[in-house]
Structure 1
Amino acid sequence: MSLRSKLSVLAVALSLAVPTLATAQELKVGYVDYQKVLLEVSDGKAAKARLQKWLEARQKEIDSQQEGLRKEKETLDKQASAMSEETRIQKATELQKKVYELAQKWEQSRGEAAERERKEMEPIIGKIDQVIGTIAQREGLGLVFEKRDSGLVYALSQYDLTNEVIRTYNSSAGKPKDAPVAKDAPKK
């Protein structure tokens, strides 16, 4: 059963349980758009900028190597008629090997980018969770849902805590030196 299916089942179960719980005491709920929070909090913006800079450097390197391989292929095509069959096959095989290695490097970069993003966002997500917990306790909320992954189809905007989470996070961040940074993030 997928995570989305499990969350949908949980949402249905909660919707059935909420009327029962509501009779015992009023249940207050809220929801947060985590993606929006991550993109708009100051630490999230800084982390995204660091990741973007790293990705651009990687892409530039890969593009440069790809251009080199394209030129090498053009040279091989021009000189192919003057080469022996054996030499032409050997050069074509070497070129194909380089193309394969570059494709592997690109794929490895994608995996590395995902891992770097996870490491960059992990401390920020922890802090966001603390902010959400503080707001939920202050407001007496029994449940806070994540807008996109909870199976939440509709909710009144009055239950949206997203902007309050962003404001609270950014105001509690204080000085830029307090910003959470992944342990292996490059130094400025």
Structure 2
Amino acid sequence: MAACAVARREAVVFAAGAAAACMLFLAPSSALAQQLKIGYVDFERAMLLSLPARAMQDKLAAEIRPRQKQLDELEAHLKAMADQLDKDGPTLSEHDIGRRRRELLDQERDLRRKLLEFNEEVAQRLNEQKSELWDLTHRAIRQIFKQEKYDLILQDAVMAAPTVDITNEVMKALATAAPAAQ
């Protein structure tokens, strides 16, 4: 019980010290005559809704569409084969039923392998795009930081006033940088 009280007291002392340090940092002083210029970026929104992000999403969708269609057709073909086997089953010999089932299982295994490869390739492409977009977004933020002479730009904030939210500026910078990046 005493250890708990000591830990609680240390936490209160730490919190009070942290609050005092923040107050000293943010308190106006003669040395800090100018006001800090602070900005906030909703990084997720910039990454998901910016023009380059949408262009990358559209490009990836166009790249994978033919292969996705091919896999969908193969899946439909396997379903048709299974339905035909169910329909013809009563009239087929045991040998023919076994042969068709093996053929169906082989093709299902092949489809699963192709789906796995496809999903891995799509995941890899998504990661590549996310990395590229992350770099573009950070370059845009860095450019705004330098041009507008910010003292601090935050990426994550619990709450931020609309006056410090520069996400739209970042998205505009990304939109102008998008043609150069492609």
Unmatched segments (≥5 aa) in structure 1: 1-11, 181-188
Give the conservation status (yes or no) of the 8 Å contact 1:41–1:170: yes
Shift of 1:53: 1.1
DSSP-derived class of the 2:140 partner:
helix
Overall identity of the aligned pairs, in %: 25
Counterpart residue type for residue 99 of structure 1: E
| Superposition TM-score, scaled by structure 1 size | 0.70
SS of residue paired to 2:154: strand
Q: Which amino acid aligns with 1:100?
A: R
Is 1:119 the counterpart of 2:123? The answer is no
Tell me, yes or no, if structure 1 residue 102 matches structure 2 residue 111: yes
1:43, distance to aligned residue in structure 2 (A): 2.4
How many residue pairs get aligned? The number is 159
Structure 2 segments unaligned to the other structure (5+ residues): 1-14
Where do residues 143-162 of structure 1 align in structure 2 (5 Å cutoff)? 143-145=153-155, 150=156, 152-162=157-167
Which whole-Å CA distance do the structure 2 matches of 1:30 and 1:84 have between them?
Answer: 75
TM-score normalised according to structure 2 size? 0.72
Distance 1:29 1:100, change over 3 A: farther
Aligned to 2:8: none
Q: What is the deviation of 1:132?
A: 0.5
TM alignment of 1:13-92, pairs within 5 A? 18-23=22-27, 28-92=37-101
Give matches, 1:148-187, under 5 Å: 150=156, 152-173=157-178, 176=179, 178-180=180-182
Q: 1:75 offset after TM fit, Å? A: 1.8
1:103-143 Cα deviation digits (max 9, x unpaired) = 23223222211211222343332121011112223342324
Q: Give, in whole Å, the separation in 1 of the partners of 2:150 and 2:98.
A: 73
1:136 equivalenced with 2:145 (yes/no): yes
Contact 1:18 1:27 in 2 (8 A): no
Q: For the residues of structure 2 that align with 1:95 and 1:114, how far apart are their CA atoms?
A: 28
Contact 2:39–2:166 (CA<8 Å) still a contact in 1?
yes
Alignment CA distance shift 1:74-1:172 (3 Å)? closer
Q: 1:67 to 1:111 in 2, by over 3 A?
A: same
Range that drifts further, 67-76 or 101-110: 101-110
Secondary structure in 1 aligned to 2:82?
A: helix
Structure of larger gyration radius? 2
- Output the amino acid matched with 2:181: A
